[in-house]
Structure 1
Amino acid sequence: MALYYSRGVNMPAKITGTTTVGVVFEGGVVLATDKRVTMGYFIAHRQGRKIYQIDDHLGITISGVVADAQAVIDILRFGARHYRMENNSPMPVKSAASMAANLFFSYRLFPLIADVLIGGFDGSPGIYSIDFFGAVSSEKYVSTGSGSPIAYGVLESEYRDGLREEEAVALAVKAVHYAMKRDSASGDGVDAVVIDGRGYREVDPETKRRIVSSLT
């Protein structure tokens, strides 16, 4: 994840350094990220937050320019609260993804430099990937950022339909962990959350330590 970006005409091939992962399981979703924040080749922060709660049933991961991503988060939080007040029900996950996609598309001439994953549970689990031009896709497993090629190697070899919660958490943490081993822009630990019928909750540090210990 980058702290800043120069909005010139020529966009660099690599605009962000991070690893984010989303995994759908039988009754919910898992979102996981690394914690390293980079500024070019400089490590600017080792405890950066890249997963945020949008509503009780919605979460988002961010990669890209921090300021742009934070603006997207604020707008989505407002939209989710407004939807809940107007409809007396939570915003569907697909609607949140559509809102984010429309926001990115509306800024396509002066793009918001961020990739986001929106995941949640509205009676059924869902994860959507949205790029900075507004392209949106529904996924069962997905990764973004510079560490995503390594993460995908883990996800594609081990994901299967019908995963249990603990299996999905282990898979997401494992994918980020191995990405950190080979991608210099990702590192400094793993954050992970579960979103299901019980709501949004963070995976406790002991669970993450146990998973990582089993990999070494």
Structure 2
Amino acid sequence: MSRVLKPNANNLETGTTTVGMVARDAVVLATDRRVTAGYYIAHRRGRKIWRIDDHVAATMSGGVADVQKILEALTLQAMDYKIRTGLPVPVKTLANYASVAMFSSRPYIFIAHMILGGVTEQEGPVLYTIDWYGSVTEERRFASTGSGSPTAFGVLEDGYRDGMSLEDAIKLGIRAVRAAMMHDPASGEGVDVITITPKEGFKEIDTSKYL
């Protein structure tokens, strides 16, 4: 992830590759690990997937502090909702809350671009993208953010199938991020993958067996 010092609507970019997919009764999130500050590699083992609750998580792209501030707020909202209702917070509720928080910061903006994914009994597997202006888009199939996303989108467009199995989605997510790492200098150092399913909830995947 990298922070652009003078953002505007035409050239705001973040140095990373994140991917999200809706699979059969599941959500898959995948990211690279390289953390950058401009052309400087600040960290080689950065975690870019944030667990919000057992049933929902988000990818991190943009300015590290900005993304963490928003995701910490979402985590607190999820905890508060569960305490008050005894139920997991709807993913759409978190997406709307993130949108309000980011939009209300204008004329300043949070340099944050997230893929929010989760599974609830009422919603099923759902995926949203939230950009630095607070715009929310529900993604029916897949999404990607960061400087490596053009390459990742090419792989996803070619390999994604509606109703694909969880195993196939994991393999495709790894392939998309690895392809981006080959072409984008701001992405690299390996791939992290998590899955969210009704039975197991949030689960980290050992990607070594897929390489």
TM range (shorter): over 0.9
2:201 to 193, 199, 202: 199
Aligned residue for 1:163, secondary structure, equals coil
Task: Give runs of aligned pairs for residues 1-216 of structure 1, distance below 5 A.
Answer: 1-2=1-2, 4-6=3-5, 8=6, 13-123=11-121, 124-139=124-139, 140-197=141-198, 198-204=200-206, 208-212=207-211
For 2:167, give the aligned amino acid.
Answer: E
Q: Structure 2: where are the runs of 5+ without partners?
A: none
Q: Structure 1: where are the runs of 5+ without partners?
A: none
Residues 9 and 133 of structure 1, relative CA distance in 2, 3 Å threshold: closer
**2-side partners of 1:16 and 1:115: how far apart?**
8
Q: Any conservation in 1 of the 2:32–2:187 contact (CA below 8 Å)?
A: yes
Residues 10 and 55 of structure 1, relative CA distance in 2, 3 Å threshold: closer
**2-side partners of 1:103 and 1:5: how far apart?**
21
For 1:70, give the aligned amino acid.
Answer: Q
Residues 26 and 9 of structure 1, relative CA distance in 2, 3 Å threshold: closer
Shift of 1:11: 7.0
RMSD, matched Cα? 1.4
Structure 1 residue ranges, 4+ long, deviating more than 4 angstroms after superposition: 8-12
| TM-score, structure 2 as length reference | 0.94
For 1:91, give the aligned amino acid.
Answer: V
- Tell me the matched-pair count: 207
Q: Any conservation in 2 of the 1:55–1:80 contact (CA below 8 Å)?
A: yes
For 2:155, give the aligned amino acid.
Answer: V
